[in-house]
Each structure stands twice: as structure tokens, then as C-alpha cells.
């Protein structure tokens, strides 16, 4: 399988935008009793979905089969409910990815921006659901494409999305999110072709 088109690789912003909520939303003293992996995953997603807006900084490393050395980038991420997701890469090249409603707008460097309908293929719909599902806390949407499991507790957790449909598995091998309470600290994305993207999130 070939590498995903560049705009599909914006999936790591799923991990990146979902970073720290305002202090009032944090619940650092809460520890969830031992629960099965799916129940904990559902609890985590519900908590993430309660956050009204997210603005964060990200650093990202992509390891592609086609390249000998990893690619490093950094920039800003934003999520504004109900469905506005924005990833602005500032270094090494300025790129922008904005998803809202049923469209995605992309711009690379000084090239003209282009707009793509998310409804033109199942693959795009899967990617959109993978990005928005956690940010919106939409468990049903994610479960349409993935099996959900989590380890740890609400204070410190690891959430794994494993494809449950053949269409999803043709694009994504696994997504692992790690975080605390309703914050997301990092994501580990493995595409079906083995390419890997690691994203780390910090406050602005």
C-alpha cells in the first residue's frame, strides 16, 4: 500500500489538538476504579468531549518507508466545536489543514489552497471520523470503525483504536493515544503500510 496522500496524514492532529483543557475542566484527583478496557475507553472519550475549545503546540516525527531519515515538524493546533479542526505547520515548511463540516481546506507553502469534499470516498470519511471522534467524545462514531480499549486509569491512561472493518484496516493499523484526565499528551499512529507518526502536545 502506498503512503497516504499528504492531507490524510493530518490525522496526527487528532492526538495533537486534544491537549490540556482549562484548569477548571481538569480532574486531577479523580482515579477511576479498575474497569474493563472498553469501559475505561468510553469514560476517557466522554471526558475529552466535554472540553469546549483547544489551542496547543505540537511537535511531530514521521518515519516513512520511502525516506531514509525521519521528518520533523512543529506548529499549532486548534479545535472549535462542533467540528472545526485546524493544523498549522510552521516548520520546516508552512502548511495548513482546516477541516469543517464536510470539507477540508489544504495549503502547502506558497501554493494555492485547495478544498476537498470529505464525502468523495469512504477513506476520507474514516479519516474525518478518526480525527473528530475523540475530540467530540463521539463513542458511537468511533465504534463504527474501531474497537476501543484502554489501560491505566483516568489519572494516566493509554487508549488504543484498533480497526474493526476491512476498509479501516486498509488505511490504519492502529492508533494509540496517551494522556491524563481529559488531556492528550501524545499519539502514536501506524498506517497500514507501516509508516509511523508520533505527535507530542504541549501548551501554547
Structural domain contains residue 2: no
Selected residue with higher pLDDT from 10 and 138: 138
How remote is the C-alpha of 138 from its chain's centroid?
13
What percentage of residues in the chain have a pLDDT greater than 90?
A: 70
H helices present in 50-161, as ranges: 122-136, 139-145
Host domain of residue 161: 36-202
Structural domain contains residue 164: yes
Average pLDDT over residues 169-197: 94
Structural domain contains residue 20: no
- Structural domains counted in the chain: 1
Report the CATH number that the domain containing residue 40 is assigned in CATH: 2.50.20.10
Structural domain contains residue 53: yes
State phi, psi for 39 to the nearest 5 degrees. -65, -40
Structural domain contains residue 68: yes
Q: Is the dihedral of CA 50, 44, 188, 166 positive or negative?
A: negative
pLDDT tens for each residue of 110-123: 899 999 999 998 88
Q: Give the count of beta carbons closer than 10 Å to the beta carbon of residue 7.
A: 19
Structural domain contains residue 194: yes
> What pLDDT, on a 0 to 100 scale, did the predictor assign at position 52?
85
pLDDT band for position 168 (cuts 50, 70, 90): very high
Structural domain contains residue 55: yes
**CA separation for the pair 199, 186 (Å, rounded):** 5
> What pLDDT, on a 0 to 100 scale, did the predictor assign at position 74?
97
3-state helix, strand, coil split of the chain in percent (to 5) is: 25, 40, 35
Average pLDDT over residues 31-44: 75
pLDDT tens for each residue of 56-72: 999 999 999 899 999 99
pLDDT tens for each residue of 73-126: 999 999 999 899 999 999 999 999 999 999 999 999 889 999 999 999 888 899
Structural domain contains residue 103: yes
**Would you say the pTM of this structure is higher than 0.85?**
no
> Which is it for strands 146-153 and 71-80: parallel, antiparallel or unpaired?
unpaired
Query: Distances in Å between the alpha carbon of 111 and those of 77, 168, 187, 201?
Result: 21, 31, 29, 27
Burial 81-90, CB ≥16 within 10 A → b, else e: eeeebbbbbe
Amino acid at each position: 500500500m502506498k503512503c497516504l496522500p499528504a492531507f490524510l496524514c493530518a490525522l496526527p492532529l487528532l492526538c495533537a489538538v486534544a491537549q490540556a483543557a482549562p484548569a477548571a475542566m481538569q480532574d486531577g484527583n479523580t482515579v477511576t476504579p479498575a474497569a474493563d478496557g472498553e469501559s475505561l475507553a468510553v469514560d476517557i472519550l466522554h471526558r475529552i468531549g466535554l472540553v469546549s475549545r483547544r489551542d496547543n503546540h505540537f511537535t511531530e516525527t514521521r518515519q516513512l518507508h520511502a525516506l531514509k531519515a525521519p521528518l520533523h515538524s512543529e506548529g499549532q493546533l486548534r479545535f472549535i466545536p462542533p467540528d472545526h479542526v485546524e493544523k498549522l505547520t510552521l516548520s520546516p515548511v508552512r502548511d495548513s489543514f482546516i477541516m469543517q463540516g464536510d470539507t477540508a481546506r489544504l495549503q502547502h507553502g506558497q501554493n494555492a489552497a485547495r478544498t476537498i469534499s470529505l464525502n468523495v470516498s469512504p477513506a476520507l470519511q474514516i479519516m474525518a471520523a478518526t480525527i473528530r471522534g475523540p475530540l467530540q467524545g463521539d463513542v458511537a462514531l468511533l465504534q463504527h470503525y474501531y474497537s476501543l480499549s484502554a489501560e491505566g486509569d483516568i489519572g494516566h491512561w493509554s487508549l488504543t483504536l484498533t480497526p474493526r472493518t476491512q476498509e479501516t484496516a486498509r488505511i490504519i493499523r492502529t492508533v494509540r493515544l496517551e494522556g491524563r484526565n481529559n488531556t492528550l499528551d501524545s499519539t502514536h499512529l501506524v498506517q497500514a503500510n507501516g509508516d509511523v507518526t508520533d505527535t507530542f502536545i504541549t501548551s501554547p
